[in-house]
Chain A
């Protein structure tokens, strides 16, 4: 992507994000949010993070690569176990990075 396109993209995302935040405080102050939008918003974070993580781990150059010899999915599995047991973001990153270096060396 060219720098110009990237500037356009970031400014657009910035404006849209501001409008979301200003929506009910300013634009539509006093109105209620439709129920379906309320229900949808609760699931945005898990759906987005899961789709992004799956893509990062298994999609390379637009193709799905499932390999037992790839270090990143194994490191991610270790990190997920740490996250599940500790609930700590810092511990997940620390152990996940260490696991990646170990698996890169092993595999």
Chain B
């Protein structure tokens, strides 16, 4: 077996266990998109065009709450800003690749693919002899995640159409946010960011188009930065 193929398959294999967490997310997104009144074809296309789980869930949740395009776009844009950090971290490993490779890998650079691929780059140094095929491993990770995301979106769209509205199945979306929040709030800075953002979101609820949400997130960010500065010796 060629070294490229074996690297690709190793990436697929190592990414596989994470799909247990991705499948419910993708299904939830599909179910939530239907509940928010999104046409199924568009919900499925968004999984390919946006390809960012948390942002897609946020878009669906805000649509259901009747938010306008500007606040939804700003919130999703803020939420996805973290991908710049992944891009920074990956840059040194993929710098030597041709542009088409870098564009493809950038498209596949999600939370879960990054988490697995960066470990490979950090734990296996560049081979001294022979070609460096670690980008095939990265491609395997990204391909696995991409396929699961598309299939679980489709499953959610099919399943969501059969669930009655009074089951409140879309409540699972804020429940997911709550679960992620508790994991993110172990640090003092995270607690400050979350608390200020939550209180500000309610205090600014009267702003039109749910713009209060965007302002609340920005205030939360600033609170997090200030708390991190204070707790540093």
Contacts and interface: CB of A to CB of B under 8 A. Distances in A.
Given A11-B49, A47-B220, A48-B217, A76 B175 contact: yes
A80 to B, nearest CB: 5
Interface of chain B: mostly helix, strand, loop or mixed: helix
B86 A12 contact: no
B197 interface: yes
B39 A93 contact: no
A53 B84 contact: no
A69 interface: no
A9 B195 contact: no
Given A30-B95, A46-B224, A87-B182, A57 B197 contact: no
Contact of B82 (A8, A45, A53, A57): A45
Interface residues of A, number: 71
Residue picked from B73, B95, B169, B176, most chain A C-beta under 10 Å: B176
B42 interface: yes
B190 to A, nearest CB: 4
B108 to A, nearest CB: 8
Interface in B141-181: 168-169, 171-181
Contact of A24 (B87, B185, B217): B87
Contact of B198 (A11, A20, A50, A93): A50
